[in-house]
Amino acid sequence: MALLGLVIAFVASFVLTPFVKKFAIAIGATDKPDHRKVHTRIMPRLGGLAIYLGFVISVLIIRPEGVYDWAIFLGGTIIIITGMVDDLFQISPKLKLLGQFGAALAVIIAGDIQVNYINLPFGGTIEFGIFAIPLTVLWIIGITNAVNLIDGLDGLAAGVSTIALLTIAGMAAIMGDLYVTLMASILAASAIGFLYYNFHPAKIFMGDTGSLFLGFMISVFALLGFKNVTVISLVIPILILGVPISDTFFAIVRRVLNKQPISAPDKSHLHHCLLNSGFSHKETVLIIYGIAIMFSLSAFVFSQSTLWGAIIVIMLTLLFIEFVVESIGLLGKDYKPILRFVRSISK
């Protein structure tokens, strides 16, 4: 039954994407090139609608056993509508944030999906109490926007999201959570069906319809798989989503240092920096896929480690991130403290 769900999701997304492409062109949901964007011709977007339909069709047919289906459908539909409206009319960031807030509240209220407490590694518990809902909303909106921000190259957001979903599915399987395993795998299969048309050179973009939906669903599945766990286990979904989270974090730091609004767009994201370093479009995407896989593998190692082993994994991961940031100039060409230190002691 699980395999059937994956096949249905893949085939449905693969078959529906060309129709969604025609629909996007017909209603004017297109992406025009400008100074911030990499593509040089008008492209249809709204491709995320095919991912959404592939996922929904599969879930409705195989009917996985779980109490969260309708809450996930409700929140997912709200976020899809938000993305579609933005792809068509380019709504303001405030309106887009309002849609994300509504979707987050929908899954929290309808499905009681929230982090209520965490267990400390040396004993004891932190109860979030009245802060449980605000923290859950912050997590959902944060991850949703993180995935949205990395959607800058053909196949980038779809591929990174697929890697994250498969990792969440694998971790959930280890923990015995078959519901999250199946749901995350179905969405990954749907994203792969779309990726055939979205990989460079893309025939259609997923648009905010896709990046918001994938980010939203990833945030919810991560909550379902890792909620009410230890502080150590809470790091796992952060590691799995290392690429979008770190790119968003450094984008915020960069804008604060440059005294720009946090929502101000720029061309200094991870993929922009790799392109500026001389890598081709396809090479840049594949490199980021590799980084995403590295984060996923570190999450698996982290989950099986002792406390000290987990600390070592975190330290090595942070060192790797810093090396990448300095090497490609993610915080500016002059920010290279560790590289300068290494060069100074190697002389």
Instruction: List the domain boundaries for the chain.
Output: 2-346
Q: What is the pLDDT of residue 233?
A: 57
**Which is more confident, 215 or 64?**
215
Token code pair at residue 39? 């593509």
Give yes or no for a cis peptide into 244 (omega within 30° of 0): no
- Of 108, 130, 149, 2, residue with least CA distance to 64: 2
Quick: pLDDT tens for 287-335.
Answer: 999 999 999 999 888 877 777 787 888 899 889 888 888 888 777 777 8
Q: Which residues are annotated as a binding site?
A: 148, 208
Residues in the chain, overall count: 347
Token code pair at residue 340? 């300068």
Q: What is the pLDDT of residue 259?
A: 75
Q: Which residues are annotated as a binding site for Mg(2+)?
A: 148, 208
63 three-state secondary structure: coil
Token code pair at residue 149? 């921000």
Contacts by 270-276 with C-beta closer than 8 Å and gap 24+? 270/150, 270/243, 270/246, 270/328, 270/330, 271/150, 271/152, 271/153, 271/156, 272/152, 273/328, 273/329, 273/330, 274/328, 275/38, 276/328, 276/329
Average pLDDT score over residue span 185-196:
96
Distance CA 208, CA 215 (A): 10
- Of 201, 190, 194, residue with least CA distance to 41: 201
Q: How far is CA 304 from CA 59, 226, 297, in A?
A: 31, 15, 11
Q: How far is CA 106 from CA 16, 101, 180, 210, in A?
A: 27, 9, 18, 19
Q: What is the pLDDT of residue 60?
A: 92
* 14 CB neighbour count, 10 Å cutoff: 19
- Of 153, 141, 136, 142, residue with least CA distance to 78: 141
Rg (CA), the chain: 20
Contact 156, 291 (CB under 8 A): no
Quick: pLDDT tens for 149-173.
Answer: 888 889 999 999 999 999 999 988 8
Dihedrals phi, psi of 31, to nearest 5 degrees? -110, 115
